[in-house]
Every structure is written in structure tokens, then in C-alpha cells.
Amino acid sequence: MLMLNNPNLGVNSISSSHIFATLQNNVILFTASLVDPLGTDEWAETDDASKHTQSPRKIRKGGLASGGMDDRFDFQFISNSLDDGKGLDIIEGSYHAMGNDGTHYDIAINDGDNSCFDGDTDRSNLLAQALHDASDHIPVIVDFEVIVEEKVSEE
């Protein structure tokens, strides 16, 4: 199971897993234990700047939130079945905040050069400018792979 959301947790860390429940008329319809692919470490300071998804803007404009890149509000939680070597699995190290090079803590994502694409500053700066102008959150990107089981022929 994969849950993409902006839960506005209001904390700078989470436990090893969260139990999510869907309620309707006070009846639990669905529960799931989900984990954060980045682990349970806190993410509030400069050493975790690459995890931040909000806000790529320092100045409020056009109804978009401001404040600089200093919050992690956007997540892709996964169930253990997406990291078990069977079916569909997350690719280790692929989880990242698109356009965040980890050097823009508490400033706009387009403040100075951006290096989210290694060795391509022009492309990085274009993406940073687009994210700055279009949104107050940046997307979280994760790659997955299909695990194919090899059939052993019986001869």
C-alpha cells in the first residue's frame, strides 16, 4: 500500500510506523500500518534540509505560503509489502523531494544556484524557478521496481 499525502503532522519526527484508520459513522472501515521510507529520524534542522518540501518561496505571493525550505509536510508512506523483495518494491535511495538540493534551508529554493541535477546548474535553476513560481510545496518522488520471479523449469 502507498499513501501519498500532506498530513501536516505538526511534529519534526515520526515513530517507526503509523497506524492509519478510515472512519465512517464511528466504524473503522480500514486500517494500515505504514512506514516512512526515510526512517524515523527528525527532520527539523539544516542537516535534514534535503527532506523539506515546504515552502519553496520566502515571500508570500499569489496565495502561496512562504517561509523558505524548512518544513517536511509531504510524504509517501509505504506498507512493508513495498519493501519485501516481492511484487512491487521501492528502489532504495530513490525517495526525494523534487528540486530540493539540500542547500536552501530556510530560504527560497531559487535563492542562488540550485544543484538538484548533478553537473547541470542551468537545468537545476530552471526547475527551482518553476517550483518557486508554481507552488508552496514541492513533489515527493519515489521510484519503484517490479520484482519478477524467475520460473525454474523442471526437466
Q: What is the torsion angle, in degrees rounded to the nearest 10, for the CA atoms of residue 82, residue 83, residue 86 and residue 89?
A: 60
Phi, psi (degrees; rounded to nearest 5) at 144 = -125, 155
What is the percent of the chain with per-residue pLDDT over 90, rounded to a whole number?
A: 51
pLDDT confidence band for 30 (50 / 70 / 90): low
Residue with cell 518561496: 57
pLDDT confidence band for 31 (50 / 70 / 90): low
pLDDT confidence band for 34 (50 / 70 / 90): confident
Mean pLDDT of the region 88-105 = 95
Task: Decide: 96 and 141 in contact? Cβ < 8 Å.
Answer: yes
pLDDT in the model for residue 74: 86
pTM: 0.79
